[in-house]
Structures are given as structure tokens and as C-alpha cells.
């Protein structure tokens, strides 16, 4: 019996220790919860975790330029489409695409003999008839049967018939097509033996010294485009190397359908070009000096469509409504709303509210 009582006492003592330990633990936990683990500044750890961490950049002054990105092609400003002056077969075509030709060089011949034979025969018959009629009228005039005026008219008809015969005889000679100026043959539409009609195109040549960049500028940008402007050009042929160019010509009219104006530019560097090359053009249409510039990531668009920026001052994010000017690459001009030197939030600004306390992320030096 004493043994049982002793065991029960030990068990009660053990349970008492457990209860006392749990009571102390709960008290300490309550103390921690109540105190909120306050730091030296009086903030709780939980409160500190809720402060947004943001990255800032200082608004600065610099020059910014708005560029319009366009595409164009290399074209020859001097092109000749040579046509046949008469009908006949093509003879002795001596050129092909890519051949260089000299001014006055014989390119091909149009054979006209067979086509002109019938005209010559008709002219000869007409002349013979007019000469026979002239002899008859001369006899009648000498006899006094008709007035002398009719003799003069008959003589005039004979003269005309002789002129027509001479012209027909000249047309029997083959016609030689010569190069109007030195250039390169770009297209040939005929071959030897091909029978052409008058004004039919035979071939096309271009002057390689007149190659230009030709591109179209939208109507809304024309106010800022003028002759002599500098621009940058890249060509796929030259591994996207950037070349400098200058506007040399603006066409006088706009395309009625596309509302664009054709512009020509010349490269300042002498390189080998071929008509049809594709070009990418960067045209600087607007430049502002001493502009307030910030990264474009700093601009937040509200549900109402307003553009706002948050600046950090005295540890708080202050919302500023801004007006946007020129955009260039990843930078944007602010024409109104902030000042030079303002610390602008560029990261972590999507959920900020005006007056919210923030913590600035320190960049590694």
C-alpha cells in the first residue's frame, strides 16, 4: 500500500512540472506577441517586412532624340528603257544582263529590209502613175484643152511621190540601237530573231553612279524632314553595319493612297551597291537638348489612363502625375511633373500608393 502511494506522489509531482513548464512557455509567448519583438526604432519585425523595397534612379538632364524607323531600297535615279523605233527582226544582240556598255555602243540591230520592201514597191507604183499623168496633162496644156494651172498641180504630185519613194528606200536599211550613255544592262527582253513592233521595249540600262536610297516617309512626320538631314542606314549585305547618309531629294507630291512622301538619300561612304538592296533607316526627326530624362520603367499608367511617377522623399513614395515627351530606346523625356535630381522609382513601383513608406535597394558599387 505504501508503495502505491509513493508512485502516485511521484506521478503527481511529474505532472505538476509539466503544467508549470507549459504555463511558463505560454507566458513567454504572450510576452513576445505583445511586445511584437520591437527593434530599436520601435518597429516590429512584422511591420518591417511589409515595407516595399524599391530601386531608384536620379532624374538627369541630357539630349534626347526621337527616331523614326523606316525601310527602303537601293534604286538607280537614272534608268533608260530602250524601245524599238520600227518593226522588224532583232539582229546581232550583243549584250546580256550585267554587261557594262559605253556611250554610243551598238547594242543590237533591227532588220527592216523585208518590212520595207512592200512600202518601196507601193511608192514606186505611185510615182510611175503620177509621172504618166503628168505627161498626159502636158499634152493637154500644149493643145489648150486645159488651163496651165493643172500642169503645176501635177508636177507637185510627182514631187511628193518621189519623196515618198526616197523615204521608203531609206527605211530598208537596218536600224542600229546605240547606248544613250554609259551604264549597266539590267534587263534584256529580246533575243536574236525576235520580231518586234514599233515602241516595244528591248532592254533596260541604269547608271551605277546614280544609285540612291529611296524610302517613304509618313505624312505626319514630314514637318521634321528636309533636304540635307543626316540619317543612319544599315544593309543586310554588310552584316548590318551602320552607314551615315544624307537626304538629297524630296518628291514634290504625296502618294494619295498611302499618304507618304518619297525621299532619296545618298551614302556618305563609297561602297558597292546593287539596285534592289534592302535598307533599314533610322531617321532623327526631333531632338531636345537639356531634357529631363528617366528610365521608361519609372512611368506607371493608371486605370484612368494617367501617366504617373513615384519619387522617394524622406523615406516615402510620393506620386507625381507627369507629361511625356520624346521616347528613345529605354529612356523617356518628362516635360512636366518632376525636377532634375528627384529620386525616381524604377522598380517595385507597380503597387505603390501615394505617401507609402518604402525602403531603397542599395546597389552594389
Measured distance CA(158)–CA(171) in Å, rounded: 20
Contact by Cβ (8 Å): 190, 202: yes
Determine how β-strand 230-235 pairs with β-strand 201-206: unpaired
pTM passes above 0.85: no
Determine how β-strand 230-235 pairs with β-strand 278-295: antiparallel
CA distance readout (Å), 95 to 107, 173, 184, 186: 6, 22, 10, 10
All three cell numbers of 357: 513608406
What would the CATH number be for the domain defined by 53-62+289-360? 2.40.420.20
Residue 273's CB is within 10 A of a number of other CB atoms, namely: 19
Measured distance CA(30)–CA(37) in Å, rounded: 11
**Was domain 84-205 assigned CATH 2.40.50.100?**
yes
pLDDT of residue 18: 43
Measured distance CA(103)–CA(118) in Å, rounded: 34
Residue 178's CB is within 10 A of a number of other CB atoms, namely: 13
Give pLDDT tens digits along the chain (365 positions): 444 444 444 445 445 444 444 443 444 344 334 444 444 444 444 445 588 999 999 999 999 999 999 999 999 999 999 999 888 899 999 999 999 999 999 999 988 766 566 677 777 788 888 888 878 888 887 877 788 778 778 888 888 888 887 776 666 667 889 999 999 999 999 999 999 999 999 999 999 999 999 999 999 999 989 999 999 999 998 988 999 999 999 999 999 999 999 999 999 999 999 999 999 999 999 899 999 999 999 999 998 999 999 999 999 999 999 999 998 888 999 999 999 999 999 999 988 999 999 999 876 65
pLDDT of residue 111: 83
Per CATH, the homologous superfamily of domain 68-77+207-288 is Efflux pump adaptor protein, beta barrel domain (2.40.30.170)
Contact by Cβ (8 Å): 248, 212: yes
Determine how β-strand 307-313 pairs with β-strand 300-301: antiparallel
* Length of the chain as a residue count: 365
pLDDT of residue 12: 52
**CA-based nearest residue to 166, from 114, 116, 115:** 116
The full set of domain ranges for the chain reads: 1-48, 53-62+289-360, 68-77+207-288, 84-205
pLDDT of residue 365: 52
- Cβ within 8 Å of residue 275, ≥6 positions away: 73, 74, 75, 76, 186, 206, 211
Amino acid at each position: 500500500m505504501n508503495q502505491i502511494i509513493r508512485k502516485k506522489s511521484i506521478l503527481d509531482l511529474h505532472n505538476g512540472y509539466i503544467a508549470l513548464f507549459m504555463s511558463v512557455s505560454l507566458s513567454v509567448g504572450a510576452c513576445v506577441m505583445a511586445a511584437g519583438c520591437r527593434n530599436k526604432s520601435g518597429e516590429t519585425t512584422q511591420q518591417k517586412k511589409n515595407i516595399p523595397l524599391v530601386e531608384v534612379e536620379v532624374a538627369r538632364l541630357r539630349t534626347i532624340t526621337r527616331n523614326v524607323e523606316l525601310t527602303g531600297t537601293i534604286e538607280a535615279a537614272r534608268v533608260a528603257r530602250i524601245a524599238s523605233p520600227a518593226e522588224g527582226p532583232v539582229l546581232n544582240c550583243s549584250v546580256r544582263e550585267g554587261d557594262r556598255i559605253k556611250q554610243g555602243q551598238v547594242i543590237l540591230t533591227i532588220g527592216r529590209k523585208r518590212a520595207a520592201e512592200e512600202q518601196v514597191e507601193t511608192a514606186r507604183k505611185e510615182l510611175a502613175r503620177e509621172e504618166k499623168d503628168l505627161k498626159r496633162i502636158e499634152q493637154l496644156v500644149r493643145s489648150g484643152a486645159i488651163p496651165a494651172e493643172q500642169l503645176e498641180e501635177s508636177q507637185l504630185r510627182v514631187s511628193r511621190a518621189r519623196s515618198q519613194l526616197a523615204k521608203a528606200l531609206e527605211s530598208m536599211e537596218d536600224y542600229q540601237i546605240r547606248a544613250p550613255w554609259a551604264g549597266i544592262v539590267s534587263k534584256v527582253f529580246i533575243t536574236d530573231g525576235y520580231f518586234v513592233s514599233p515602241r516595244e521595249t528591248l532592254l533596260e540600262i541604269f547608271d551605277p553612279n546614280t544609285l540612291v536610297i529611296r524610302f517613304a516617309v509618313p505624312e505626319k512626320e514630314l514637318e521634321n524632314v528636309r533636304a540635307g538631314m543626316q540619317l543612319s542606314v544599315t544593309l543586310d549585305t554588310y552584316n548590318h553595319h551602320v552607314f551615315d547618309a544624307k537626304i538629297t531629294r524630296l518628291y514634290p507630291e504625296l502618294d494619295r493612297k498611302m499618304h507618304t512622301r518619297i525621299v532619296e538619300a545618298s551614302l556618305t561612304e563609297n561602297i558597292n551597291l546593287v539596285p534592289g538592296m534592302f535598307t533599314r533607316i533610322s531617321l532623327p526627326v526631333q531632338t531636345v537638348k537639356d531634357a529631363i530624362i528617366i528610365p521608361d520603367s519609372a512611368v506607371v499608367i493608371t486605370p484612368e489612363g494617367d501617366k504617373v511617377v513615384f519619387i522617394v522623399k524622406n523615406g516615402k513614395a510620393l506620386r507625381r502625375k507627369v507629361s511625356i515627351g520624346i521616347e528613345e530606346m529605354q529612356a523617356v523625356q518628362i516635360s512636366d511633373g518632376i525636377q532634375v535630381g528627384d529620386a525616381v522609382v524604377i522598380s517595385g513601383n507597380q503597387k505603390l500608393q501615394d505617401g507609402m513608406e518604402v525602403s531603397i535597394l542599395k546597389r552594389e558599387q
